[in-house]
Structure 1
Amino acid sequence: MRAVQITAPGEPEVLQLSQVPDPVPGPGELLIDVVAAGLNRADVQQRRGHYPPPAGASEIPGLEVSGRIAGFGPGVTRPFSVGDKVVALLAGGGYAEKVVVPAGHVLRVPDGVDLVTAAGLPEVAATIYSNLYMTAGLRREETLLVHGATGGIGTFAIQLAKALGSTVATTAGGPEKVATARGFLGADIAIDYQAEDFPEALREATGGRGADVILDVVGAKYLGKNLDALNTHGRLVVIGLQGGARGELDLGKLLSKRAAVIGTTLRARPDEEKTAIMDAVREVVWPLITDGSIRPLVARSFPLQDVAEAHRYFETGQHVGKILLTM
């Protein structure tokens, strides 16, 4: 099969399309003929040498795919059939024509979503639902702040939290992205971080309360400001390190707010945790996609052989929604 390999840490040119052996499903695993794969920041970090796959996972990048079931390993008990249209959450291996994955990490494509578009759903849906609701316990009456309104995480998080009844604030860079966040995505509060101090703007918009939960992909650069933006009993959930991994935290302020700082990743979680997350996504998130409350947004699709161009486009930061690779 064709698959993308990382020849050395570096720029997009290190991504090379190669012929590799087809994977063989083991106990409890499904074999999927891949139709499309989602591109995530974790893939960029892996390409640069900063985010290696967990032990035992494929070295091929790619954390989510859509496709059709092509075969079964021994002991699969979930009710799938050959030819079923599915999406899968992966620890690696998605930039390829075939993948193997534990059956518990696979869901049927939501009704009303085409098979290519569906490739951008599993990683973002699992990341957001697990962090906002299973970890941070976001409630209907609370305010969520999402950084990066127009990326894959931001576009989905805004829609999901709105659909489940929270007030949603977000940051975005520039008037155009602020308008998109407010008008197209439905954010209640949209703050231009290039022109405003976001903690001050958020407190003003919320009558001084700030955010009950913050979903942060920036990391160290925003650590102090995020704490300033938190309400009493607030929860800061850090899921990315775009702005660095080391920062200073005012513990006195953290204690006075009785707040929590939570760091999580999805990729290296045990299989049973991922299965529980995907089951919750199927029960809670998939119906919201089917009824139109959440619209999967695809910025652009690239053929697999143009993977380097896809990474370059991702790194411009100009996209709204997901970037996909098609087989």
Structure 2
Amino acid sequence: MNAAVVHAFDAPPRYTTFADPVAGDGDVIVKVAAAGLHPIVRALANGTHYGSSGELSFIPGVDGAGRLEDGTRVYFGTTKPRYGTFAEKAAAAKWMCIPLPDGLDEVTAAGIANPGMSSWAALKARAKFTAGESVLILGATGIAGKLSVQIAKRLGARRVIAAGRNPQSLDALKALGADAVISLTQERDALVSAFRTEIAENGVDVVLDYLWGQPAEAVLAAIAQKGLKHATSRIRFIQVGNTAAPTISLPAATLRSSGIELLGSGFGSASMDEILQAVREFFQVAAKTPFQASIKTIALRDVESVWNNPERDARIVFQP
């Protein structure tokens, strides 16, 4: 079959031929219609993700949408060694195949599942979010961030604060449900002050962090309190991505002086059952009332030429 294949961690995948996948016990073969190029796919392809085995060669891609042999339309994930979803066919465990609801096409499902699941699972499975709480989103101008603004509102958030760098995108987020926006281009002291004011005046129950690095440090500094006479409020800080930096500096006093709870959300911290349940729920909501998400389709044969030139304002979806 034709597929995108990673032969080296420091080079883009090449479009070439690869042996067809073989279905094992409990597996099904899916004819792939669409597969999204997510940050996790890039990280696994260049060997930097914690889930990378370090083995070559392999087909990248962690999820996709397509059809089973009986014509059933499904969204699916794959964990078969060396066989990802950037190919004409993929093998998937039956339990990892989710029938697509009417009203949701394969390209849209492949484009929104991963970024949408990231905030849906983070809020429901990890933060145990309840309607009426307030959510601060770090990195709200990215594809996942824009969806998270909409998802938080759909789940009943009392207030959504969107933080990002792109001023045009920040303004546009107000139309998607953001009640307030904070620019991350401010000087550190001004940024910490802006976060501290929001926390003090309106309250923040959950932080969804797609950035880590300096933006996360600024929020944590804003949460930290001085003095020995103050009441602390519970804030669940959910770490989802690290596009700003892989590490932070965290003073011990920040944890002791506040009600902060640091949690991660991703493969490993959330169970596969929780992740698949998040996708099912997200799809049902998306099928009834579509989310606004920018998706760009590209033929899989062009994977090498576009790999190092990613779309910043759209999620790329490859079609075999």
**Shorter-chain TM-score above 0.5:** yes
Verify: 1:218 aligned to 2:211, yes or no. Answer: yes
State the SS of the aligned residue for 2:117. helix
Distance apart, 1:200 and its partner CA: 2.7
Q: Does 1:157 align with 2:153?
A: no
What is the rounded CA distance, in whole Å, between the counterparts of 1:309 and 1:146 in structure 2?
Answer: 33
1:89 aligns with 2:77: yes
The reply to whether residue 228 of structure 1 matches residue 228 of structure 2 is no
Q: CA RMSD in A?
A: 2.6
Could you tell me which amino acid in structure 1 is paired with residue 283 of structure 2? W
Aligned partner of 2:226 in structure 1 is none
Please list every run of 5 or more consecutive structure 2 residues that lacks an aligned counterpart in the other structure: 224-231
Using the alignment, how far apart are the partners of 1:253 and 1:208 within structure 2?
20
- Structure 2 CA distance, aligned partners of 1:3 and 1:313? 19
- 2:94 aligned partner, one-letter code: A
C-alpha separation in 2, matches of 1:228 and 1:289:
36
Q: Which residue of 2 aligns with 1:265?
A: 266
Secondary structure of 1:194's aligned partner: coil
The alpha-carbon distance between structure 1 residues 181 and 188, as it changes in their structure 2 partners (threshold 3 A), is same
Q: Per-residue deviation at 1:269? A: 7.0
Report what 1:290 is aligned to: 287
Q: Does the CA-based 8 Å contact 1:203-1:209 persist in structure 2?
A: no
Structure 1 residues 189 and 68 mapped into 2: Cα distance closer, same or farther (>3 Å)? same
Taking structure 1 as reference, are residues 280 and 154 closer, same or farther at Cα in structure 2, changes over 3 Å only?
closer
- Deviation of 1:251 (Å): 2.0
Tell me whether 209-218 or 134-143 shows the greater mean CA deviation: 209-218
In 1: Cα distance, 2:112 partner to 2:260 partner: 31
Q: Does 1:24 align with 2:22?
A: yes
Q: What is residue 33 of structure 2 aligned with on the other side?
A: 35
Which runs of structure 2 are paired with 1:125-274 in the superposition (5 Å)?
A: 125-166=116-157, 167-183=159-175, 185-195=176-186, 197-205=190-198, 207-230=200-223, 232-266=233-267, 273-274=271-272
Of 93, 99, 103, which aligns to 2:94? 103
TM-aligned CA deviation for residue 85 of structure 1: 0.8
> 1:204-262, CA deviations, whole angstroms, 9 ceiling, x for partnerless residues?
34553553211112223333213134482111111222233232212212222121111
- For 1:229 and 1:152, the matched residues in 2 are separated by 26
Rounded Cα–Cα distance in structure 2 between residues aligned with 1:33 and 1:95: 11
Distance of 1:202 and 1:110 partners within structure 2:
40
The alignment-based identity, stated in percent, is: 27
> What secondary structure, in the 3-state scheme, does the structure 2 residue paired with 1:145 have?
strand
Question: Residue type of the partner of 1:291?
Answer: K
Closer, same or farther: CA 223–115 of 1 in aligned 2, 3 Å: closer
Q: Deviations over 1:83-135 (max 9, x none)?
A: 11111133460111111112222212232122222111332233222221111
1:120–1:296 Cα contact (<8 Å) kept: no
Taking structure 1 as reference, are residues 219 and 59 closer, same or farther at Cα in structure 2, changes over 3 Å only? farther
8 Å CA contact 2:12–2:308 kept in 1: the answer is no
Query: CA–CA distance in 2 between the matches of 1:253 and 1:225?
Result: 11
- The aligned amino acid for 1:262 is L
SS of match in other structure, 1:45: helix
TM-score, reference length from structure 2: 0.85
What is the CA distance between 1:138 and its match in structure 2? 1.7
Amino acid at match of 1:179: D
One-letter amino acid matched to 2:66: G
The answer to whether the 8 A contact 1:310-1:323 is kept is: no
